């Protein structure tokens, strides 16, 4: 099998996990597609260094030979499978109650009173589910 | 210096993403158990893919640009770190995006109502 075929299989497997196995359906969600271009940008940068400086070398007959930012196009498929699978597992664990909270707050620290982690004056994160989640995750 | 190339790239990824934890308070590192449980299957499956790809000759690593630490199976240490660093950065970015856009991801407390 070539890297091209393996990468396509990897994408298919990651899609199957997201849509059918863990049923997180991230590829149907706006938040996933809003995140992914940012990730691809950084991937082109970091992978560009790795492949441009030949830290990783590819056997020419294992790839198509189409390159983007010096990386074989197959790496984009590999990266998609890696990122989708990782986010799918992350969301699935949260849905199962593993540390669903403290959720991301998204507010710059300067605009909100900063609470030290664990302080009793902690801001928004609802305390009740947090302890329940922690207990469930620990068991 | 050359031996640190790959490690340097991984450090760069971390620098690009870790600031989200304190600044946007994404609480990914605070949920370290969930993070570790996510990384476990990722490292396992993609580590196996990596091993198979190296065995099949799809890719190889320049010995002059990796630390030289090899893991059982012969993979450079950097490869396994890659499968921890990249997903962690992706999760940091994902949590930051969802918090800023305030869009559901499917693991909210009332996640039963399905809205993409």
**B-chain residues near A94 (CB < 8 A):** 34, 105, 107
**Containing domain of residue A96, as a range?**
3-103+123-138
Note whether residue B106 is domain-resident. Answer: no
Contact B58 A6 (CB under 8 A): yes
Note whether residue A49 is domain-resident. Answer: yes
Task: Give the distance from residue B34's alpha carbon to the nearest chain A alpha carbon, in angstroms.
Answer: 6
Interface of A with B in 80-139 (CB under 8 A): 82-83, 85-87, 89-95, 98-109, 117, 125, 129, 137-138
Alpha helices in chain A (DSSP H): 3-16, 30-52, 74-95, 127-138
Low-confidence ranges of chain A (pLDDT < 50): 119-139
Q: Which of A122-126, B13-17, B76-80, B107-111 has the lowest mean pLDDT?
A: A122-126
Closest-CA residue in chain B for A4?
B58
Band (pLDDT 50/70/90 cuts) for residue B116 is low
Note whether residue A117 is domain-resident. Answer: no
Number of folded domains that form chain B: 1
Note whether residue A111 is domain-resident. Answer: no
Interface test with A, best of B94, B100, B116 (most A CBs within 10 A): B94
**C-alpha span between B111 and A94 (Å, rounded):** 10
Put simply, whether A58 touches B (Cβ < 8 Å) is yes
Give the tens place of pLDDT for each residue, B85-94: 999 999 999 9
Note whether residue B111 is domain-resident. Answer: no
**Containing domain of residue B13, as a range?**
2-101
Note whether residue A50 is domain-resident. Answer: yes
ipTM score: 0.93
- List the single residue in B22, B41, B57 with the smallest CB-CB distance to A89: B41
Interface of A with B in 16-35 (CB under 8 A): 24-26, 28-32, 34-35
Note whether residue A112 is domain-resident. Answer: no
Note whether residue B13 is domain-resident. Answer: yes
**C-alpha span between A139 and B87 (Å, rounded):** 25
B68-95 average pLDDT score: 96
For chain A, give the number of residues. 139
**B-chain residues near A62 (CB < 8 A):** 56-59
Interface of B with A in 12-31 (CB under 8 A): 12-13, 16-17, 22-28, 30-31
Contact B6 A50 (CB under 8 A): yes
**C-alpha span between A22 and A31 (Å, rounded):** 18
Give the tens place of pLDDT for each residue, B24-56: 999 999 999 999 999 999 999 999 999 999 999
* pLDDT at residue number A40: 97
Tokens of A55: 């830290």
Task: Give the distance from residue B16's alpha carbon to the nearest chain A alpha carbon, in angstroms.
Answer: 8
Note whether residue A114 is domain-resident. Answer: no
**C-alpha span between A55 and B10 (Å, rounded):** 13
Cα A95–A23–B46 angle (5° rounding)? 95
Note whether residue A116 is domain-resident. Answer: no
Note whether residue A115 is domain-resident. Answer: no
- Contact between residue A47 and residue A73 where contact means Cβ atoms under 8 Å apart: no
**B-chain residues near A122 (CB < 8 A):** none
Number of folded domains that form chain A: 1
Q: What is the mean pLDDT of chain B?
A: 92
**Which candidate, B89, B48, B9, places its Cα nearest to that of A38?**
B89
Q: In Å, how far are A11, A41, A103, A108 from B28, measured between CA atoms?
A: 25, 21, 8, 15
């Amino acid at each position: 099998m070539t890297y091209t075929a393996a990468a396509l299989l990897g994408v298919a497997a990651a899609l199957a996990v997201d849509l059918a196995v863990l049923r997180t359906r991230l590829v149907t969600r706006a938040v996933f597609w809003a995140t992914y271009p940012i990730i691809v940008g950084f991937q082109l940068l970091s992978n560009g260094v790795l492949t441009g400086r030949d830290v990783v070398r590819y056997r020419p007959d294992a790839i198509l030979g189409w390159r983007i930012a010096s990386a074989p196009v197959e790496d984009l498929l590999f990266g998609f499978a890696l990122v989708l699978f990782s986010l799918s597992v992350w969301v699935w664990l949260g849905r199962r109650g593993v540390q669903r909270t403290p959720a991301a707050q998204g507010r710059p620290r300067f605009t909100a009173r900063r609470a030290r982690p664990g302080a009793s004056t902690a801001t928004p994160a609802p305390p009740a589910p947090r302890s329940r989640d922690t207990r469930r995750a620990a068991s | 210096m050359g031996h640190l190339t790959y490690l340097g790239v991984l450090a760069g990824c971390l620098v690009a993403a870790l600031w989200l934890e304190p600044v946007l308070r994404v609480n990914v590192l605070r949920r370290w158990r969930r993070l570790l449980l996510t990384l476990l299957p990722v490292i396992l499956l993609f580590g196996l893919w990596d091993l198979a790809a190296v065995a099949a000759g799809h890719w190889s690593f320049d010995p002059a640009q990796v630390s030289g630490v090899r893991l059982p199976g012969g993979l450079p240490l950097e490869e396994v770190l890659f499968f921890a660093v990249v997903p962690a950065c992706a999760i940091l970015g994902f949590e930051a995006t969802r918090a800023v856009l305030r869009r559901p991801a499917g693991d909210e407390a009332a996640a039963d109502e399905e809205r993409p």
